[in-house]
Amino acid sequence: MEAKKVLEDLKRRFPNEPEYHQALEEVLPTIEEEYNKHPEFEKANLIERLCIPDRIYQFRVTWTDDQGQVQTNMGYRVQHNNAIGPYKGGIRFHRSVNLGILKFLAFEQTFKNSLTTLPMGGGKGGSDFSPRGKSNAEVMRFCQAFLLELTRHIGPDVDVPAGDIGVGGREVGYMFGMYKKLTHEFSGVLTGKGLEFGGSLIRPEATGYGNVYFLQEMLKTKGESVKGKRVLISGAGNVAQYTAEKVLELGGTVLTMSDSDGYIYDPDGIDREKLDYIMELKQVMRGRIKEYVDQYPTAKYVEGARPWGEVADIALPSATQNEISEEEAKTLVANGVMAVSEGANMPSTPGAIRVFQEAKIFYAPGKASNAGGVSVSGLEMSQNSGRISWSAEEVDSKLHWIMENIHANCVKYGTEPDGYVNYVKGANVAGFMKVAKAMMAQGIV
Ligand code: NDP
Ligand code: 2IT
């Protein structure tokens, strides 16, 4: 295959999906060489079968708000690839959700899930519904209406959704309840469930912890550690909170957190007590990050900006896609950042990635560094199937092992002649080869 030609063709066939194009563009050139070592892949047109989702469901979701007004939203599920296991991936509820964004996320998820070593295919779903400012009752009615349609497409051995932006324990609980009601079945159809009904310990922490474990592995290769490092985190949601928790545990200083309105910078560092405040603010009060400065006036709040202009050693983007521009990447590098490890999916623009790699700093793409979340989802599936539950220590040690293993695979497939590890290439090639071999073995289906 010729990556450039394949890309041009897919862009022509699926126009107006820039995030999907961007994700393809990041992967195809890096696997081209490996792919072309296997003429049988080309004969089976493996590349198009890997890039184009197996199937996509789209539906209207109708629900009634607290004022009695009927509302409509779009619902989607992209079942990308199930060569190595049931479709698996989160559900995103955010105003910005559209099919192109979910196609990029499902494509990425396929590679990520392959890297985890667990038997999970790739999928993603969601809606342009925004839980922001909605009452509990509205969120419940929406989740129920969404599941009314989605239920027929998912199942514990078919497709297993979980959380993502705008979908946490509350939403997963409401969706699980509706699935159970409709099917008369208590099964592990969703992950990220409450502990009382089949959820796994460490699942809420897993993405953030996993990203910091991955960061530790990268730093270790140069005899460095997180201890004493100044860290910029974006986002203030699930991933950001537990990233901060693990950084603090390892002796790092967390300087920033953010949401889509702006960021806070605390020159004294966000310590354990301050992080507890943020967790309460976001998880219970469902407040905004700017409220932090009312509580801690020595910190500043910068409206309408992202934290990348602040001076630090490490950046852990944990909010959303394309949240680091090329210019911001240049600023980070100029300010001496030595590592960028992605908690979010595709937070760095292509220009930013180029800047990081040309500066030869540690740069970990989300599909490797944020794989801890879906990994513990996979462990939740195992526990559900076996009708058992493991201790926090047991799950955490499995998570740690998985992140070390992903790192080792990136080094194996991504080390360049001068010794620099291209983690993008490493993750893409390692993730691709497993899916490719499984697809070849299963024939033309
Ligand atoms: P949450 O909904 O818990 O938090 C998202 C955070 O990011 C919020 O602070 C939100 O601010 C901010 N954010 C969302 N959209 C935007 C935007 N368009 N611009 C700026 N800020 C934004 O989601 P998660 O923490 O679960 O997810 C964060 C990222 O991590 C996503 O990229 C997700 O795909 C990825 N991820 C999540 C995993 C998980 O297990 N949850 C696993 C692997 C990756 P606001 O409140 O203003 O919207
Ligand atoms: O992007 C991701 O990996 C997630 N949102 C988690 C998916 C999952 O199935 O746990």
Per-residue pLDDT reduced to its tens digit, 200-225: 999 999 999 999 999 999 999 999 99
pLDDT tier, 239 (very low <50, low <70, confident <90, very high otherwise): very high
- Residue 123: both structure tokens together: 């999928």
Eight-class DSSP state of 200 = P
Q: What are phi and psi of 314, to 5 degrees?
A: -140, 145
Mutate to test the pocket of ligand 1, among 320, 375, 379 (most ligand atoms within 8 A of CB): 320
- In the chain, DSSP finds a helix count (H) and a strand count (E) of 17, 12
Rounded CA gap, 34 and 42, in Å?
12
Of 377, 380, 383, which is best to mutate to test ligand 2, by the most ligand atoms within 8 angstroms of its C-beta?
377
CA 163 to ligand 2: nearest atom: 5
* Residue 124 bears catalytic tag: yes
Take atom 36 of ligand 1 and give the residue whose Cα is closest.
344
Centre of ligand 1 to C-alpha 409, Å, is 27
The string of pLDDT tens digits covering residues 173-197 is 999 999 999 999 999 999 999 999 9
> What's the gap in Å between 436 CA and the centre of ligand 1?
30
Q: From the CA of 164, give the closest atom in ligand 2.
A: 5
What share of the chain has pLDDT > 70, as a percent? Answer: 100
Overall average pLDDT of the 417-430 stretch = 98
Per-residue confidence (pLDDT) for residue 59, from 0 to 100:
98
Q: Which atom of ligand 1 is nearest to the CA of 203?
A: 40
Distance of CA 29 to the CA centre of its chain: 22
46 confidence band (pLDDT: 50, 70, 90): very high
Alpha carbon of 94 to ligand 1 centroid (Å): 9
Q: How far is the CA of 81 from the centre of ligand 2 (A)?
A: 15
What pLDDT, in 10s, does the model give residues 65-115?
Answer: 999 999 999 999 999 999 999 999 999 999 999 999 999 999 999 999 999
Which residues 6+ apart lie within 8 Å of 235 measured at CB? 257, 258, 259, 317, 318, 319, 320, 343, 344
Phi, psi of 14 (to 5 degrees): -125, 70
**Which of 239, 263, 279 to probe ligand 1 with, by most ligand atoms within 8 A of CB?**
239
Distance CA 91, CA 264 (A): 28
Residues of the chain with pLDDT > 90: what percent?
100
pLDDT one-digit tens code per residue, 280-336: 999 999 999 999 999 999 999 999 999 999 999 999 999 999 999 999 999 999 999
- Give the pLDDT score at 41: 98
Q: Given this model, what pLDDT does residue 186 score? A: 97
Do 249 and 396 contact (CB within 8 A), yes or no?
no
Confidence (pLDDT) at 430: 98
Calpha distance 115→151 (Å, rounded): 28
pTM of the full predicted structure?
0.98
Query: What are the C-alpha distances in Å from 248 to residues 77, 244, 364?
Result: 37, 6, 20
Q: Residue 441 is inside which H or E element, if any? A: helix 423-441
Q: How far is the CA of 24 from the centre of ligand 1 (A)?
A: 22
The average pLDDT across 398-409 equals 98
Q: Quick check: CB of 188 below 6 Å from ligand 2?
A: no
Give pLDDT tens digits for 110-161: 999 999 999 999 999 999 999 999 999 999 999 999 999 999 999 999 999 9
CB 220 within 8 A of CB 195: no
Helix (H) or strand (E) holding 243: helix 238-249
In the predicted model, what is the mean pLDDT of the chain?
98
Rounded distance between C-alpha atoms, residue 295 and residue 278, angstroms: 10
Catalytic residue (one of 112, 124, 246, 367): 124
**345-397 pLDDT tens trace:** 999 999 999 999 999 999 999 999 999 999 999 999 999 999 999 999 999 99
Q: Residue 86: what pLDDT? A: 98
